[in-house]
């Protein structure tokens, strides 16, 4: 049985929590190293054909998610580019970054909401609790990404992380 994500929306902030059955250092690495991220980042049916991680304060994580699942209809073949800029790193406890929609060159998509994201990694009995706090410029921006299916996408993504962690322990 997988541990469910708990979510809470307050004004312009989305908080997600989930416990992963793995040591904190390993879960932290899974969020910060390309060799891990390429196995689980993105919803089911999507791959990561491009991923570049410069994991340092001021560094950039630039990636492309591509839909490889023909059953996803209009999404099949679609590419979604993202770019995160790290502003705080405290291994293995905390990562703070701003996440943007971007293009293949890393130019920020100005018409899409940016996310100010804080990830906390907390040791708990039997594993690691990840607490993701995503703050948007406005409640409308948060609603926009929620309407795009972000909660389903992150749930599938974190389900894939559970599976990845099981294969590497």
Residue boundaries of the structural domains of the chain: 6-168
Mean pLDDT value of segment 104-129:
97
CATH 3.40.980.10 fits 6-168, yes or no: no
In the block, residue with structure tokens 């059953």 = 71
Long-range contact set of residues 76-83: C-beta below 8 Å, sequence gap at least 24: 79/104, 80/46, 81/106, 83/108
Peptide bond into 102 cis (omega under 30): no
Long-range contact set of residues 115-120: C-beta below 8 Å, sequence gap at least 24: 115/145, 117/84, 118/94, 119/31, 119/94, 119/95, 120/93, 120/94
Mean pLDDT value of segment 21-46:
97
pLDDT digits (tens, 9 = 90+) for 57-94: 999 999 999 999 999 999 999 999 999 999 999 999 99
Q: Examine the pLDDT at 1 and tell me if it is beyond 50.
A: no
Residue count (the chain)? 169
Mean pLDDT value of segment 146-163:
94
Place 129 in a pLDDT band, splitting at 50, 70 and 90: very high
Q: What percent of the chain has pLDDT over 90?
A: 93
Q: What's the pLDDT at 154?
A: 93
Determine the 3-state secondary structure of 30 from DSSP: helix
Going by C-beta distance under 8 Å and a sequence separation of 6 or more, which residues neighbour residue 47? 65, 66, 68
Distance CA 93, CA 161 (A): 18
Q: What's the pLDDT at 142?
A: 96
Q: Examine the pLDDT at 4 and tell me if it is beyond 90.
A: no
pLDDT digits (tens, 9 = 90+) for 43-55: 999 999 999 999 9
**What Å distances lie between residue 139 and 34, 97, 119, 135, 143, CA to CA?**
32, 19, 20, 9, 6
User: Side by side, which strands form the sheet with 46-53?
Assistant: 6-10, 13-20, 127-135, 115-124, 94-102, 79-90, 60-67, 46-53
Cβ atoms of residues 4 and 162 within 8 Å: no
Mean pLDDT value of segment 5-17:
94
The mean predicted confidence, pLDDT, of the chain is: 95
């Amino acid at each position: 049985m997988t541990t469910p994500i708990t979510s809470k929306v307050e004004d312009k902030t989305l908080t997600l929590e989930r416990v992963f059955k793995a040591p904190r250092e390993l879960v932290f690495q899974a969020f910060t190293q390309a060799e891990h991220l390429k196995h689980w980042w993105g919803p089911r049916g999507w791959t990561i054909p491009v991923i570049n991680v410069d994991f340092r304060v001021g560094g950039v994580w630039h990636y492309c998610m591509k839909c490889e699942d023909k059953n996803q209809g209009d999404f099949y073949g679609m590419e979604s580019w993202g770019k995160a800029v790290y502003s705080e790193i405290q291994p293995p406890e905390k990562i703070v970054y701003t996440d943007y929609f971007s293009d293949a060159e890393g130019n920020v998509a100005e018409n899409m909401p940016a996310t100010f994201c804080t990830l906390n990694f907390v040791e708990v009995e039997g594993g690691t609790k990840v607490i993701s706090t995503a703050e948007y410029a406005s409640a409308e921006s948060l609603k926009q990404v929620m309407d795009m299916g972000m909660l389903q996408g992150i749930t599938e993504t974190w389900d894939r992380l559970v599976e990845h962690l099981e294969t590497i322990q």
